[in-house]
Amino acid sequence: MPLPVLPGGHGIAGISGRQRAGQSCRRGNAAAARRNAWFRHLRHGKPLEEEATLAVHRVAATRTFSFGGQAGRRMQPPGRRSACLSIRSGDDMTIHALGRARRGLSALLACLLIPLLCAPSARAQSASGWTLVFHDEFDDSSLDTGKWNTTYMWGGEGARTLSGNDELQVYLDDQFEFRGDGVLRIRAERKDTVWHDKTYRYASGLITTYQKFARQKGYFEMRARLPSGKGLWPAFWMLLDRPSWPPEIDIMEVLGQAPSTVYMSKHSNADGDQTTLAGIFDTSAAFHVYGLEWSDAYLTWYLDGLPVARTARSSDMDEPMQLLVNLAVGGHWPGAPDASTVFPAYLEVDYVRAWRRDSPAAAVPGMTNGKTFVVGNLHTGMALRPEGAGAGNNVRVVQNAYNDTWASQRWVVRPVGGGDYAIVNSYTGKALRPRDGAAGDGVDIVQYDYNAAWDSQKWNLVRAGNGHFAIINKYTGKALRPKGAGTADGAGIVQETYRDTWNSQKWKIVVP
């Protein structure tokens, strides 16, 4: 489903900021040795066992891998064992090496590149340029009442339901399940309950941080798997930390009968209601991360680390706001459940976190998630980077000698559905695309604010042998390549018709 621009906003946002002036290559033998090893790694397609191990330990001590040599042609899975791989997230899941069975590229990349979306996450991590100011990983056997309430801030009937929405549930204190796996399950079920002389046919759960945690500005995220079924209405949202409305920020709302559509909204007395929606993935099939960055000027929404919508901050959003997570049943928007709705239904929450920004140039924690990659060319041995580390739209993408101090050479590779990926710079927050979405050979590759509706920002990663990939645009069908196969530092990157004999169209995607 196309993603409309928020009324009053201006498209999809990236991360603002400028890279530190005067970036330059490190001098000295150690740096030269690293660059030479990097070049050999890309050029010959052999594993850098020592460097790979050190790099992985810098990211997460429990994650190990080895890139093995493989023979392959375009769109052909390997006929023999692929690169050895074992990924572990806490004690939740291990993905083992692919065997001889013919498996699609998506399975390999899900193991190699993408954070584990289907299992509960690891514990809260630090993020450069940010301070974690609130989090609950739900590791206990009961709800932490030092962090959460189970009623709204309003008294009377409004403490346990929103009758103004015609909701059919009452929120009770016993609708939470903990099974020892670090996941909070908010349970909605058919259960007659009398509340303020009215019988409610459904019971569910609500948690809020009212008078326990509130924040103005920062980054807020929840990792969760949502229920499906007509009449179910899960939400992750924000209200003022006092009994007043609006303003309101809806980080995520989903209607159970349409679990692949995520609604992101703000409500304000200053400039009215604004809503956008994104049809990206089935929110009931796996865990996903829903995030919001609240800055001085903008609200920016993120899905699995990708910026998908932005609008101006309303002038009445000028004080701290509380966090709320709930699973409503019925109401004038989702309608009532029907015979197809399965009960009990669960909103499964892995964690809720809030961060304070300390550095204006830092990428949001939910974007990098501790997993960034360097994209290096087999033919030239150089790595992708926005030209001059420029942060604007339509900045040309070039190749430069790898420099391990340059954040602008780090990229986030994220699934966007249909086996496609967005490739987003972790410094600028902008995604690769052919200039103006043009389809011809030789068109420059640039960075641009990510837009989930643009196929020109979606890429297929095709195995090209020895652990390398061709990076092929979904919209144009053309592959990334240094212009004219040029080896110069600063040569531009273009798209060309794919030829599997050209090493200049083969790339290695590695943990730096």
Catalytic residues: 248, 253
Question: In the chain, count of helices (H) and strands (E)?
Answer: 4, 31
- How far is the C-alpha of 178 from the C-alpha of 207, rounded, in Å? 14
Specify the 3-state DSSP secondary structure of 214: coil
On whether the CB atoms of residues 3 and 308 are closer than 8 A, the answer is yes
In Å, what is the CA distance from 510 to each residue of 45, 150, 483, 487, 501?
Answer: 12, 44, 22, 20, 22
- How far is the C-alpha of 146 from the C-alpha of 213, rounded, in Å? 10
Distance, first Cα to last Cα, the chain: 35
Tell me which H or E stretch contains 252.
strand 248-253
Structure tokens at 163: 């009758």
- How far is the C-alpha of 483 from the C-alpha of 398, rounded, in Å? 9
Amino acid at 335: G
On whether the CB atoms of residues 141 and 185 are closer than 8 A, the answer is no
Helix, strand, coil percent values for the chain (each to nearest 5): 10, 35, 50
Residue partners of 313: CB distance under 8 A and separation at least 6: 294, 295, 296, 297, 298, 299
- How far is the C-alpha of 429 from the C-alpha of 305, rounded, in Å? 10
